[in-house]
Amino acid sequence: MKLISGGVCAAEGFTAAGMHCGIRKNKSKRDLSLIYSDRPASAAAVYTTNLVKGAAIGVTRSHIENGTARAVICNSGNANTCNENGTETAERMCELLAEALGIDADDVVVASTGVIGKPLDIAPIAAGIPTLISQLSRDGSSAAAEGIMTTDTVKKEVAVEFTLGGKTCHIGGIAKGSGMIHPNMATMLVFITTDAAISPAMLQKALSHDIASTFNMLSIDGDTSTNDMVTVLANGAAGNEHVNAPGTDFEEFMRALNTVTVALCRAIAGDGEGCTRMMECVVTGAKDEAAAKTAAKAVICSSLVKAMIFGADANFGRVFCAVGYSGADVDVTKMGVCFKSAAGEIEVARGGFSLDFSEEIAKKVLSEHEVTIVVTLSDGDASAAAWGCDLTYDYVRINADYRT
């Protein structure tokens, strides 16, 4: 398995595009994206657990109930949420695209992201679709990644090459996400494509299993969005033997999918609203996976830990505190903490007690863009990782007037 370029267009048979159609006032910002498969594809998705859901969620859920899709259309700048005609608008987006592509509207995945409670005008989308389709290209992943961004400051795309049954396969993805991220199923908007041949049932099984240790272990600010969606399209263009049951090929597909999703998780965490540092918490030596996940998630969600990382202050007591209230089954008298980054690593606590350490070295370690907090529990063999970012003054500035 190796990292490659191409994002959602790395897989054979997929093209993509992104453009400014007029939803956003800033004409330099792309606000409409398209991903297209030249043949029918198996489809799987997971959605936000927020009871308040964007109209696109229900439409997409019904469209891929049969396990197939051909295209993904997504707008930014407007969430199409809490709008009386939201479902009608989302359906119309699918119909307009389907008519132009010559496919069935039920084969379109639709998504929206942006401000909640603002009516979404279909006119600029309708006018833009012909141009969007004309721009479809094997080099279009980057433009599509830009078109789904809101407060993101960088594009998020990744792809890998792997082998199934002697056939070379590819899987790639794009994502948007910077704030309002605290999932309980998936998060933000993530679109993944692969040319591997895999049944809809096994694709859904792979995705549902994967998010438990990837997107469900990511948090920026503790707020679960109304529009979160992760979709995967698999069109089989690689020509591998169809994966329709557990086995070696399914495990290899799972490994490739996980490589993509972990990379996207890290990219999102590193681009949290106003953030200066990506924060990873690795918990080792837990009694079981549930305890490891609970402890890790509590650490990266703690506002005090996030503020500590922003200040590069080795106040490990905040890490102890988060694990202690997390509800995880741990023996805190065995707990240790170590901070790691490109600048080195420093152990600050062991066996439930603090250690003498250099504040100067700790400051250097915690001042890097990517910081890892390693929590050792010494209770068993289970481990887990979670991702987040620091809490800065800019987070409040960005969200204080997000709508206006």
Amino acid identity of 199? Answer: S
Torsion angle of alpha carbons 357, 359, 364, 367, nearest 10°? 120
Name the nearest CA neighbour of 152 among 190, 100, 199, 96: 190
Structural domains of the chain, with CATH = 2-269 (3.60.70.12), 278-400 (3.10.20.340)
Query: What would the pLDDT profile of 315-338 be if each residue is shown by its tens digit?
Result: 999 999 999 999 999 999 999 999
User: Whole-number mean pLDDT of the chain?
Assistant: 95
Say how far apart CA 349 and CA 360 lie, in whole Å. 16
Q: Residue 273: its pLDDT value, please?
A: 87
Answer whether residue 178 shows pLDDT above 90. no
Say how far apart CA 116 and CA 45 lie, in whole Å. 22
Q: Residue 188: its pLDDT value, please?
A: 83
Token reading at 295: 């402890």
Mean pLDDT of 10-28: 96
Answer whether residue 180 shows pLDDT above 80. no
Q: What are phi and psi of 9, to 5 degrees?
A: -100, 5
Amino acid identity of 168? Answer: T
Binned at pLDDT 50, 70 and 90, residue 184 comes out as low
Residues with catalytic roles? 187
| Residue 291 Cα distances to 212, 218, 343, 385, angstroms | 14, 16, 29, 12
Q: Are 120 and 22 in contact (CB under 8 A)?
A: no
Query: What would the pLDDT profile of 59-115 be if each residue is shown by its tens digit?
Result: 999 999 999 999 999 999 999 999 999 999 999 999 999 999 999 999 999 999 999
Say how far apart CA 373 and CA 309 lie, in whole Å. 10
Say how far apart CA 97 and CA 126 lie, in whole Å. 8
Angle at 240 between CA 47 and CA 69, to 5 degrees: 35
Token reading at 345: 């690593």
